[in-house]
Amino acid sequence: MAQLWGGRFTKETDELVYNFNASISFDQKFYAQDIKGSIAHAIMLGKTGIITLEESEDIVNGLKGILNDIENGDLEISPKYEDIHSFVEATLIDRIGDTGKKLHTGRSRNDQVALDMRLYTRDEVLNIKELLYGLMKTLHSIMKENTDTYMPGFTHLQKAQPVTLAHHVGAYMEMFKRDYSRMCDIYERMNYCPLGAGALAGTTYPLDRDMTAELLGFKGPTLNSMDSVSDRDYVIELLSALSTISMHLSRFSEEIIIWNSNEYQFVELDDAYSTGSSIMPQKKNPDIAELVRGKTGRVYAALISILTTMKGIPLAYNKDMQEDKELTFDAIDTVKGCIALFEGMIRTMKVNKDKMKASAMNGFTNATDAADYLVKKGVPFRDAHGIIGKLVLYCIDNSKAIEELSISELKSISDVFDEDVYDAISLETCVGKRNTIGAPGPDAINKVLEINEAFLNSIK
């Protein structure tokens, strides 16, 4: 057991207590952020004269050496320390002697851990933005290649009206654009530095909080020391945004699973992104899509967990808050993995345009357009709806699509029908004439593609 705080105690900590309390098994994940934060603190201590410049330099060099050695694999993070903060400080003292003991001047582990968690999550927000950018680029290419790939659009998972694959994928593009913008918002709001808040009430040393904030790339210092050490809103916001990303990926995965099924065959997943069965030789399973869908649960769990942990904590720091880490780290890693794998899976999947088109052509996806045809000829919409309903029944009885009926069959149901009906209800017309903003028609989609292209270039 290696603790920073033995002075006041007359007994060793019980071993079970020690293990229950320790966080090094998981907070070692932000060793780099911890050291970076300490370097900024040490520089500031030197420049403000709280310690000498020479001491500051010794500490900074010592910390840089520790970072280097951990990264090279020359220094192993020992589980005998309570947390990563204790490990780094003890190693520093070990290496540079008594000067190392001055590093913690004007600092508490409470503002230290608040800083580390912010630095870590801030870095990960950038990584997630990068992954979302890659995913959106892939969606954009799929859209560009499929502006005339007809497919049925569904409501209630029943064929509704024809759309294109570009339009369907475009819906997800909008979701991921919002996810991206959520990451930008979160970054802005979290980008204030809690270092210097001390245990909860600041310190009497003349710390320069502006300086440490600037050294660490923050917009400025946080404004209330009690809030600084006990705020985990940014973790909650991040987990909420990650939950939304997971929900989007999960919905899309569900569709890929359906599209890839034997019944649909709209797409075929690449062999590299599918798996087999140990017993059924014919199987090629969409395991990646299923796992992405399945992992949504643990991301939501992280959000619910931190919300629940935080709800009853009085100001300021309480040890409950140590629980902010494990599930957050897991959720971040999970979502990063899911975005990357999902991107590869859809980039490599084969689109079966013929199957999609054939499916759009049966199932009466042009029934609304047939009713609209009658309306344009003067039939009130409610009557037109009834006529087409009858027509659909007739088609079902005779196993035909609306456009397969002869003009005399059509006229037997309503004499308003004319030869021009075939053009009016063709797939090309049904999709091609829908050109209001956001609709699947080519003019509308091309405008969206331009906007998306400009957006992707602006965040490149």
Catalytic residues: 156, 277
Element (H, E) at 173: helix 165-190
With respect to ligand ARG, which residue has the nearer C-beta, 42 or 84?
A: 84
**Which 8-state DSSP code applies to residue 2?**
B
Within 382-421, which residues bind ligand ARG (CB under 6 A)?
none
Within 46-85, which residues bind ligand ARG (CB under 6 A)?
83
- Residue 79 has a CB neighbour count (10 Å cut-off) of 12
Helices (H), 207-352: 209-215, 225-230, 233-259, 287-310, 326-348
Q: Is 322 in the site for ligand ARG (CB under 6 A)?
A: yes
Residue type, 307: L
Q: Is 230 in the site for ligand ARG (CB under 6 A)?
A: no
Q: How many residues bind ligand ARG (CB under 6 A)?
A: 10
Contact range with ligand ARG by CB under 6 A, out of 150-158, 316-324, 343-351, 378-386 = 316-324
Single out the residue of 28, 99, 110, 121 in contact with ligand ARG (rule: CB under 6 A). 110
Q: Is 165 in the site for ligand ARG (CB under 6 A)?
A: no
Q: Is 113 in the site for ligand ARG (CB under 6 A)?
A: yes
We find the least distance from the C-beta atom of residue 235 to ligand ARG, in angstroms, to be 12
**Inter-residue contact 150 to 162 (CB < 8 Å):** yes
Closest CA to 266 of 370, 165, 182, 187: 165
**Dist. CA 246–CA 268, nearest whole Å:** 23
What is the SS3 string spanning 359-386? HHHCCCCCHHHHHHHHHHCCCCHHHHHH
With respect to ligand ARG, which residue has the nearer C-beta, 107 or 109?
A: 109
Task: List, in order, residues 6 or more apart from 377 with CB less than 8 Å away.
Answer: 416, 418
We find the least distance from the C-beta atom of residue 109 to ligand ARG, in angstroms, to be 4
Single out the residue of 81, 259, 317, 417 in contact with ligand ARG (rule: CB under 6 A). 317
With respect to ligand ARG, which residue has the nearer C-beta, 23 or 33?
A: 23
**Dist. CA 211–CA 221, nearest whole Å:** 9
Query: In the bound complex, which residue of the shown chain has the CB atom lying closest to ligand ARG?
Result: 322
Q: Is 23 in the site for ligand ARG (CB under 6 A)?
A: yes
We find the least distance from the C-beta atom of residue 65 to ligand ARG, in angstroms, to be 24
Identify the residue whose tokens are 């990646």: 288
**78-107 footprint of ligand ARG as x/- string (CB under 6 A):** -----x------------------------
Single out the residue of 29, 36, 102, 109 in contact with ligand ARG (rule: CB under 6 A). 109
We find the least distance from the C-beta atom of residue 332 to ligand ARG, in angstroms, to be 16
Contact range with ligand ARG by CB under 6 A, out of 96-104, 245-253, 315-323, 415-423 = 315-323
Task: List, in order, residues 6 or more apart from 425 with CB less than 8 Å away.
Answer: 366, 369, 370, 373, 402, 403
Pairing of strands 192-193, 220-221: parallel
Q: Is 225 in the site for ligand ARG (CB under 6 A)?
A: no
Identify the residue whose tokens are 């769990």: 301
Interface residue list for ligand ARG (CB under 6 A): 23, 27, 83, 109-110, 113, 317, 319, 321-322
